[in-house]
Amino acid sequence: MKKKFVYFFGQGKAEGNAKMKDLLGGKGAGLAEMTNIGVPVPPGFTITTETCILYNQAGKNFPDGLEDDIRSNMAKLEEIMEKGFGYPGNPLLVSVRSGAAASMPGMMDTVLNLGLNDETVQGLVEKTGNERFAYDAYRRFIQMFSDIVLGLEHADFERLLEKMKEEEGVKFDSELNRRALQDLVRRYKGRVRKVTGADFPTDPWQQLTAAIKSVFDSWETPRAVTYRKMNNIPHDMGTGVNVQTMVFGNMGETSGTGVAFTRNPSTGKKQFYGEYLLDAQGEDVVAGIRTPHPILQLKEEMPDAYDQLVEVYQRLEQHYRDMQDIEFTIENHKLFMLQTRTGKRTAKSAVKIAVDMEQEGLIDKREAILRVEPATLDQLLHPHIDPEAKVDVIAKGLAASPGAAAGQAVFTADDACDWAAEGKKVVLVRSETSPEDIHGMYAAEGILTARGGMTSHAAVVARGMGKCCVAGCEAIKVNEETRSFKVGDLTISEGDMITLDGTTGRVILGEAPTIESEMTEEMVTFLSWTDDFRKLKVRTNADTPEDAKKARNFGAQGIGLCRTEHMFFGEERLPHMQAMIVAKDKKARENALAKLLPMQKEDFRGIFLAMEGLPVTIRLLDPPLHEFLPNHEELSVELAELKVKGENNPDRIKELEEIIHQVEGLRESNPMLGHRGCRLGITMPEVYEMQVQAIFEAATELVRDGYVVEPEVMVPLVGHVNELKVIKKQIVKIADEVIANAKVDLNYSIGTMIELPRAAITADEIAGEAEFFSFGTNDLTQTTFGFSRDDAEGKFLGDYLDQGILPANPFQQLDQTGVGELIQIGVTRGRSTRPDLKVGICGEHGGDPSSIEFCHLVGLNYVSCSPFRVPIARLAAAHARLKNE
């Protein structure tokens, strides 16, 4: 059976529909569906995404039969439109647009007004009676085709356009008259001839073939590849190509074009939201060439077209049961729809829309939960500018994407990447952004543009990324050559610090103070729904009462990891910790530890109070002791300086020599696998004894005061069951003594971290002693791969990701086939010994949505993550269950 490459749509009937998104791409499926439900859509045809894949496999050649299919569908189009493609008497012009299954706004190519040449432009003049419009369309076509298909520099044509406007004494393209546009066409064609050595192609079929190939090729452009990497979109999907009859928004003041959303994509408010321009084509709106008008103004300028647009957008939202991103053109007061797709939105908007649509009866709670991507909730927890702070506002633009962003101003996307790679926070400042800026936008804290509206490239992409953006800030004059911008008499140069307020559109000089965000009413409601569906519990990693309280407010159901080592770095504590380490005998060590005991007890008391009634897993001291001592190199330099200067300070010299001797004695070739964790507890039992004493004294005192406390003591880095046996015996002895002396009832449990492959493999033996397991996936990843994380991420992991050796950073996204297999083994074998074994994870993967889904599938009881990722984990856990029912 012959493969079908092309699907037609027109006259109220389409060969495709909304369910064919993978085959037709999002744009093609949307055009087909709108056609089928009676929305006014210019007819055309879609070349499938499969064809793109075949084209690439065939070495950038059309598969057999495609050209015939294109010609037969073009004949259908000519018949419907009663026009001829390439026929000067009544020319049919088309647009050629990309459209992948996953939305990639602005990342691939589009050519408008295709089919124009010196003969057909005259036919267009005769048919429309509008010579200015015809040559405006012609110059646009030459510029787009030359840029996208012929590979000429877009900026070269922009310079010619700017020069023409200067000569004519006008500000906007729409003010150029017929004669100027004809002259511009000649200059554009001259530029093509000068650069390529050939005339601009005039055969419409040659133009069409080249444009289709260019759209296919745009799937592999660096910006498209970068966007897919950033958004976890597969690289093997391909893009569809939509060839569609042109309708013209640039026919004068009776025509226009716009982009709109059926709800506010920034806030989620139920309001028609968008922008338009009269006498313009689509790229004028999204590229920010002219600052567009708010959509509500269209009601005054074209009331009939506006009313029809409102009816269409409401019908589309009801039909798709989701917020839609639509593109439209009005040609001589007649409305045509060019696109509908699920609209990109901020996390705040996504949550509000999901809650509102559930309450409106459009969707149920399950669908509402699945509408919000877990990772996007991170945006909602970003700080915002303190409203009480005094700030120096230097300009104001459009509040295109909410949040606050402070950084040093940079003026190119490449610089944004380079500076960010050096650890600097940057704000990318551009006259307007283009798809080529995608990598710099990703690296920047925020984006500021002088031109463009709420639906410009900068605004749409920033909202999709969750980046703060202020767009259309016309008060700033950007000079990319000098890498600066001016606001009145003030000049902001590269490297100067500025702050953006994406919620109000303010541009602030310097770094403005910020405050933590609070959860909205919709967010609280939404997350309460997730709790009804998820099976996994969500705990937090917290080492202080403040973090514990914050996590509990976000819905944490306990602490899965309290790292005790962080408690010893305080100014009052570190000297006692260091004294314990350098002590020459056990008694001296115990004396130092006795001074730390009351401090540790207060730490645990505060955390138990913050998590009253919920389990708190406390990990005993894990890192090697040398981390608490001064840096060996710094000590050596100080000692050398004292000796060279001959200063009479023998006591300090002796003290330094002793400390250096101790540091050298503790230095290890590979400290990650050295004297740390339970090994430290076995060789220096008094350290763990002090910590256990502090835990249970704090717990019993609180129980006596009427509080409910659930301590869980976790032994780190166990590789052999006998290690746990030795330390467990110590813990039980001290815990039971403290509880008996306090005369209270207190239940507690003892478990271990599984962070070594041997521990996972012998989990059946370890479970004979451990009442719970917590997979420490950071160290388990290191020991499974044989990677040192710091070295791997700093030296070669980037190359592994770029070359496709690894699909993702295994320290950010769980390696399910390797590390995950060890987790599966550990769970299965552990529960074969102890069926009620409680199992969780407490590495960074506890806040990663894909890793959380894996944890759900292998039957873990909980995940534990940082406080700010608790809402993400709650939603991801609900997703995991709903997607796998």
- Give catalytic residues, as residue numbers: 457, 842
β-strand partners of 864 = 539
Overall residue count recorded for the chain in this entry: 885
Beta pairing, strands 468-471 & 398-401: antiparallel
d(CA 266, CA 765): 54
Which is nearest to 713 in space by CA: 669, 671, 751? 751
Give the pairing type, strands 710-715 and 749-754.
Answer: parallel
For residue 25, CA distances in Å to 333, 589, 664, 726 come to 30, 69, 63, 61
User: Among candidates 831, 833, 840, which has minimal Cα distance to 877?
Assistant: 840
Please classify residue 74 by burial: count the beta carbons closer than 10 Å to its beta carbon, then call 0-12 exposed, 13-18 middle and 19+ buried: buried
Q: Provide the sign of the torsion angle of the four alpha carbons 780, 784, 785, 788, taken in this order.
A: positive
DSSP reduced 3-state for 147: helix
Alpha helix segments (H runs only) across 2-62: 21-36, 49-57
Dihedrals phi, psi of 795, to nearest 5 degrees: -120, -40
Is 275 within 8 Å of 298 (Cβ atoms)?
no
Dihedral sign for Cα 619, 623, 625, 631, please.
negative
Alpha-carbon gap, residue 843 to 822, rounded angstroms: 15
d(CA 352, CA 358): 10
CB 32 within 8 A of CB 9: yes
User: What is the radius of gyration, based on Cα positions, of the chain?
Assistant: 33
User: How crowded is residue 144: how many other Cβ atoms within 10 Å of its Cβ?
Assistant: 23
Report the distance separating Cα 776 and Cα 335, nearest Å: 59
Question: Reduced to 3 states, what is the DSSP secondary structure of residue 447?
Answer: strand
Alpha-carbon gap, residue 244 to 242, rounded angstroms: 6
DSSP result, 86-98: T-TTSB--EEEEE
Q: Please give the biggest Cα pair distance in the chain.
A: 104
Query: What are the C-alpha distances in Å from 550 to residues 210, 557, 852, 875?
Result: 57, 12, 21, 18
Distance CA 860, CA 410 (A): 46
End-to-end Cα separation, the chain, in angstroms = 37
Helices (H), 259-393: 282-286, 298-301, 303-320, 347-359, 365-370
Which residue has 């969750």 as its token pair? 466
